A and B are shown apart, each in its own frame.
Chain A
Amino acid sequence: MAKAFDFPGGIHPPQRKALSTRTPLIQAALPTHVVLPMDQHIGNPAEPCVEIGQRVRTGERVALAQGMISADVHASITGTVTAIEEHPIPHPSQGKRLCVVIERDPNGDDDWCRMPPLDWRHADEDTLLERLRHSGVVGLGGAGFPTQIKARVRELHAIDTLLVNAAECEPYITADDLTLRTYPDDVIEGAQLFARLCGAERILIGIEDNKPEAVEALNESLRRHAEDSVPIELKIIATRYPSGGEKQLIKRLLNREVPSHGLPADVGVLCHNPGTLRAAVRAVRDGEPLISRVVTLTGEALARPGNVEARLGTSMHELLNAAGLKEDELARLVMGGPMMGFALDTTALPLAKTTNCLIAATEHELPAPPKEQPCIRCAACEQVCPASLLPQQLYWFAKAREHDKAELFNLFDCIECGACSYVCPSHIPLVQYYQAAKGEIRERRREAHKAEHARHRFEFRQARLAHEAAEKEAKRQARAQAASRVAARTAQPSRQEPRGEDAATAKEQVKQLRIAQAAAKAALRKAEKALARASEAGEGELDDLEVQVATARENLQATEARLAAAQKDEQQGEPRQ
């Protein structure tokens, strides 16, 4: 494919990348202690599996992934676990989360605990997936999606192209650039590994033309790897924000449109960031779990900006100080890029798996945002939206909380790139409006789901109580009958007449209970089928369905108990007729 296609919109903000590319990638000093948050990824937080006082070695697992979407966490230094407690984490909410704190050994050794190396070209697929599952690798581009789930994409989708997303289009950030310059072989080997796992026939590397050194390094490495199994092609594209958006890059390089609400896998593409590929290959080939990452330290408040490879959990304060932080000039600390990142209140935060860039900006460099003005309907936002949305419309809907309409206008296709806010002459924080609207919609869905779940739990309890009551009643009746039989034997009764009526109502009751029993059986079968189908497809709310099956079972048992009691009643009545 010689021709590059194009995505709509886009902007050309100043790059400011040169700030951090002048010096080579360096290794940060080993920290004296690390704080490892339990959620550094999308999905469920991991659960600590170490105790306070326990000695851990570098690479040892300290927390276990929970549920389907989650990732393990590993010790990034050798030392002693001194605390498992809530600690501030780098997150826009500025909240605290559970963290494992490790104090480094006084003697300062970096004693590794590695997994056995694997030859990924020959090892079987399950072994490789298992290894990725236990190595804590997540998307290092900033999103933090657990990599092993992406590696399993083959189970549901046919993939023909593995796309290495090296566009790195956001200003300031150069972590991928330096990773590619320094470790091109690892990245390419990682791409081959993933091509094998997802069954891709070719590998495309998409890179913007503002990284000539990285391109040079890649080309050289490609010459060395000429005999590799899956063909690799390097695609250089013109620099334009946000060409590094997955959907935008796919459109640009392959002319494929990822459908609304869809994933790249829907059009046969799997995207990975170079840093993630390197981390994956290190986990497989060298047996080293994810315990460090490359982070860009930049901004004019730093005397020595550049890229460092640092252990996860290192305090940002330490890293920034090592880069020559001029505290009196620091006006704002931003994690991520200036377009999609967020401001941090403090430097007393740990480096997380998703921390790709820290910008220590001066007042002059990133001034406080001006006041928001009313929308003048200039439509500048529409011209730059790379997702072909109508940002102005979305803004009105979000503001008025008209969520249905916002969804109708594809709010969820917004990639929050910020191009619209960037050009808006009224300084409207458009992205924040969209984020708020998305958040409210998601919360409403969550609440609805929670309500549905509570309803099923409530119904289950009702059924359980009914079942218990029915059984008690049956037992009581049995006792009463036994007593009356004894009484009947001793004194011959003359109660023939009412017996007849009793028998008639008993018969009627048995009939009705039989119908109820059939209905309860049908309901149980239906619930069981739904559960079986859902667990086969691996989707839907399994626990909710399980509660429904249990409810149906309780209901059936309750009717059966009542039926048995009524039948006994009936038989009792009959011989005397």
Chain B
Amino acid sequence: MLELITNNEILAAIVALLGLAAAFGALLGFAAERFKVEGDPVVEKIDALLPQTQCGQCGYPGCRPYAEAISQGDEINKCPPGGDTTIAALADLLGREPKPLDGEAQDIPKVAYIHEDECIGCTKCIQACPVDAILGAARHMHTVIESECTGCDLCVDPCPVDCIDMLPRQRTPDEWYWPLPDGPGHRPTSVTPTLIATDRVSAIGQGAGHG
């Protein structure tokens, strides 16, 4: 047998390749087992579409658990912070029918605000905040890092002295933008070019040949 193989070049090549394939296959199998990364691509994709407010209004302790539940067949309309946009995106991803939101839609983005003079420093809000957006130590006043707060509401109830309010998130001038015009039949709310309407008439009248 060995002789046959060594004498026949083609057979030798095949055997060598088979051997290599088996060795690498085993190695790959071992690596896959050894360095298995947790995570399911579908869950990742669903999670990426959720607003990450981590508020638990969907009935799960955070967005990721809800993403897992959706991948197991739960409804896609349980996330109020995401609203219709998220439902539409999820329906698109999963090929399901979009459904009306189960619950009350959120109107405007909010952030938590702690009335620091009333805060007794009990740390209950810190424990409730899912994104570590509250700073403070025991018996010292607490404050919210506005840029980190997702507006999830979870810190409001635990506060024993009711010193946390949810206020509308302020927009910086950089974030401000012109709203879409009202459409035909309305006067534009912005300023520009139609402003010099009279100029245009005269410019066209002069054959637009202005120097």
- Residues of A near any B CB (own CB < 8 A): 11-16, 39, 42, 45, 89, 91-93, 95, 97, 171, 209-210, 239, 332, 334, 338-343, 361, 364-374, 398-399, 401, 418-419, 421-423, 426-429, 431-433, 435-440, 442-443, 446-447, 450-455, 457-458, 460-461, 515, 518-519, 522
Contacts and interface: CB of A to CB of B under 8 A. Distances in A.
B193 to A, nearest CB: 4
B131 A427 contact: no
B206 to A, nearest CB: 9
Contact of A14 (B35, B176, B210): B210
Interface in B174-208: 174-200, 202-203, 208
Nearest to A209: B211
B184 A372 contact: yes
Contacts of B36: 515, 519
A515 B62 contact: no
Contact of A429 (B38, B53, B188): B188
B34 A454 contact: no
A439 B177 contact: yes
Contacts of A436: 177-181
Given A370-B194, A371-B186, A92 B199 contact: no
A372 B131 contact: no
Contacts of A518: 34-35
A458 B177 contact: no
A341 B194 CA distance: 12
Interface of B: 34-38, 47-48, 50-54, 62-64, 130-133, 148, 150, 171-200, 202-203, 208-211
Contacts, number: 192
23 contacts: A14-B199, A93-B173, A334-B195, A342-B192, A366-B196, A369-B197, A372-B183, A372-B188, A422-B196, A423-B200, A427-B194, A427-B197, A429-B194, A432-B181, A432-B190, A435-B177, A436-B178, A436-B179, A451-B50, A454-B131, A455-B64, A458-B64, A458-B130
Interface centre among A16, A45, A454 (most CB of B within 10 A): A454
Interface centre among A365, A398, A432 (most CB of B within 10 A): A432
B126 to A, nearest CB: 10
A341 B193 contact: no
A541 to B, nearest CB: 12
A443 B169 CA distance: 14
A366 B191 CA distance: 10
A369 B195 contact: yes
A247 to B, nearest CB: 19
Contact of B203 (A13, A39, A340, A447): A13
A67 to B, nearest CB: 12
Given A371-B186, A399-B180, 19 more contacts: A13-B196, A89-B173, A97-B173, A334-B191, A339-B192, A366-B195, A418-B193, A421-B192, A427-B194, A436-B177, A436-B178, A442-B177, A451-B51, A455-B47, A458-B64, A461-B132, A515-B34, A515-B36, A519-B38
B131 A239 contact: no
A435 B190 contact: yes
A91 B176 contact: yes
Contacts of A13: 196, 199-200, 203, 210
Contacts of B175: 443, 446
A369 B148 contact: no
Contact of A338 (B148, B193, B203): B193
Contact of A398 (B48, B64, B180): B180
B99 to A, nearest CB: 21
A241 to B, nearest CB: 9
A242 to B, nearest CB: 11
4 closest Cβ pairs, A-B complex? A439-B177, A429-B188, A369-B194, A457-B131
A454 B198 CA distance: 52
B197 A432 contact: no
Contacts of B131: 454, 457-458, 461
Contact of A341 (B35, B132, B191): B191
Interface centre among B51, B181, B196 (most CB of A within 10 A): B196
B176 A369 contact: no
B177 A11 contact: no
A172 to B, nearest CB: 9
B192 A371 contact: no
A372 to B, nearest CB: 5
Contacts of B211: 12, 15, 209-210, 239
Nearest to A422: B193
